[in-house]
């Protein structure tokens, strides 16, 4: 968990996909509640149309001096084609690339691909909380290295 970490000076941004909003709005609520409970500051929250659209918003947040890391929330459900694979893989790859480019953590809280709506609902809490927790842990690790 997050015990022993100095979280009072860590500021995170959240990027949330509004596609599958019934699930992602729940994920955002869970993430914000978790952050508040753990006394983590969320300095910015940006909504984008879908998971594929998250990288540009991530980049804009990472450019800000008052953002130490970003948690990305979304869900990519299985449809009739392999489109979910393309969306999820590209969102994840771009998020990782941006993390490396800006030397700030980007925690991936996007569920899927190949996931049903029921599976995504069942896993919403875990994905949302882990995204916040991972971002905080990585900020702490990077501060220790500096």
Active site residues: 83
Backbone angles phi, psi at 50, to 5 degrees: -150, 175
What is the rounded CA–CA span in Å between residue 5 and residue 75?
29
User: Rounded to whole angstroms, what are the CA distances from 14 to 28, 69, 116, 144, 145?
Assistant: 8, 9, 24, 23, 24
**Residue 65: Cβ-neighbour burial (10 angstroms; 0-12, 13-18, 19+):** exposed
Which residues is 108 bridged to in the sheet? 72
Find the length of the chain: 146
């Amino acid at each position: 968990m997050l015990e022993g970490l100095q979280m009072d000076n860590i500021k995170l941004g959240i990027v949330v996909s509004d596609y599958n909003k019934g699930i992602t709005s729940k994920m955002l609520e869970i993430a914000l509640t978790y952050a508040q409970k753990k006394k983590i500051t969320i300095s910015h929250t940006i909504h984008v149309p879908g998971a594929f659209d998250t990288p540009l918003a991530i980049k804009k947040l990472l450019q800000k001096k008052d953002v130490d890391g970003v948690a990305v929330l979304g869900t990519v459900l299985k449809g009739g084609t392999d489109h979910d694979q393309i969306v999820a893989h590209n969102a994840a790859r771009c998020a990782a690339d941006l993390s490396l480019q800006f030397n700030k953590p980007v925690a991936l809280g996007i569920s899927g691909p190949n996931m049903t709506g029921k599976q995504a609902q069942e896993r919403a809490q875990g994905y949302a909380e882990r995204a916040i927790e991972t971002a905080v842990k990585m900020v702490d690790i990077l501060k220790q290295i500096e």
